Amino acid sequence: MIWNEYYECMDREKMREVQGKRLCDTVDRVYHNVPFYRKKMQTMGLEPGDIKGIDDITKLPFTTKQDLRDNYPFGLFAVPKSEVVRVHASSGTTGKPTVVGYSRKDIYTFSEVVARSLNSSGATRNDIVQIAYGYGLFTGGLGLHYGAEKIGATVIPISGGNTQKQLQLMQDFGSTVIACTPSYALYLSEAMEEAGISPETLSLKAGIFGAEPWTEEMRQNIEQSLNIKAYDIYGLSEIIGPGVANECDYQCGLHIWEDHFVPETIDTDTLQPSKKGCIGELVFTTITKEALPLLRYRTRDLTRLDDTKCECGRTAVRMEKCTGRSDDMLIIRGVNVFPSQVESVLLEIGETKPHYLLIVDREGALDTLEIWVEVDDYYFSDEIGKLEGLSNRIKHAVESVLGISIKIKLVEPKTIQRSEGKAQRIIDKRKA
Partner 1 sequence: MIITQLSVFLENRSGRLTEVTDIFSENQINISALSIAETADYGVLRMIVDKPEIAVRVLKKNDLSVHTTEVVAVITPDIPGALNKVIKYLSEEEINIAYMYGYSHENKASIIMKVNNPQKAVEILQNKKIELISASDFYEI
Which residues lie near partner 1 (CB under 8 A)? 375-377, 380-385, 387-388, 409-415
Tell the smallest beta-carbon distance from residue 16 to partner 1 (Å). Answer: 58
C-alpha dist (Å) from residue 91 to 253, 348, 371, 397, 401 = 28, 18, 18, 14, 7
Tell the smallest beta-carbon distance from residue 350 to partner 1 (Å). Answer: 16
Alpha-carbon span 412 to 352, nearest angstrom: 11
Tell the smallest beta-carbon distance from residue 377 to partner 1 (Å). Answer: 5
Tell the smallest beta-carbon distance from residue 415 to partner 1 (Å). Answer: 7
Tell the smallest beta-carbon distance from residue 357 to partner 1 (Å). Answer: 13
The neighbour count for residue 193, using CB atoms within 10 Å, is 12
Q: Work out the burial of residue 382: count CB atoms within 10 Å of its CB; fewer than 13 is exposed, 13-18 middle, 19 or more buried.
A: exposed
Query: DSSP string spanning 148-189?
Result: HHHTTPEEE---S--HHHHHHHIIIII--EEEE-HHHHHHHH
Rank residues 42 and 405 by Cβ distance to partner 1 and give the closer one.
Answer: 405
Question: What is the helix (H) or strand (E) element at residue 353, kind and residue range?
Answer: strand 352-363
Rank residues 294 and 390 by Cβ distance to partner 1 and give the closer one.
Answer: 390
C-alpha dist (Å) from residue 316 to 108, 299, 308 = 20, 19, 9
Could you say which DSSP state residue 253 is in? Answer: S
Rank residues 76 and 346 by Cβ distance to partner 1 and give the closer one.
Answer: 346
Tell the smallest beta-carbon distance from residue 339 to partner 1 (Å). Answer: 21
Q: Pairing relation of β-strands 261-266 and 318-319?
A: unpaired
Residue 365: CB partners within 8 Å, gap ≥ 6? 183, 184, 185, 186, 187, 189, 190
**Greatest CA separation found in the chain?**
73
Rank residues 376 and 399 by Cβ distance to partner 1 and give the closer one.
Answer: 376
Rank residues 192 and 371 by Cβ distance to partner 1 and give the closer one.
Answer: 371
Rank residues 42 and 392 by Cβ distance to partner 1 and give the closer one.
Answer: 392
- Cα Rg of the chain (Å, integer): 23
* Partner residues linked to 86 by β-bridges: 102
Rank residues 332 and 371 by Cβ distance to partner 1 and give the closer one.
Answer: 371
Q: If we measure between CA atoms, which residue out of 97, 77, 63 comes closest to residue 35?
A: 77
Structural contact between residues 225 and 194, judged by C-beta atoms closer than 8 angstroms: no
Sign of dihedral through CA atoms 103, 106, 111, 117?
A: negative
Q: If we measure between CA atoms, which residue out of 370, 368, 407, 360 comes closest to residue 388?
A: 407
C-alpha dist (Å) from residue 136 to 112, 139, 188, 264, 338 = 20, 7, 22, 30, 21
Tell the smallest beta-carbon distance from residue 343 to partner 1 (Å). Answer: 20
Rank residues 125 and 429 by Cβ distance to partner 1 and give the closer one.
Answer: 429
Tell the smallest beta-carbon distance from residue 407 to partner 1 (Å). Answer: 9
Tell the smallest beta-carbon distance from residue 121 to partner 1 (Å). Answer: 44
Rank residues 11 and 377 by Cβ distance to partner 1 and give the closer one.
Answer: 377
Rank residues 384 and 432 by Cβ distance to partner 1 and give the closer one.
Answer: 384
Tell the smallest beta-carbon distance from residue 385 to partner 1 (Å). Answer: 8
Phi, psi of 415 (to 5 degrees): -70, -40
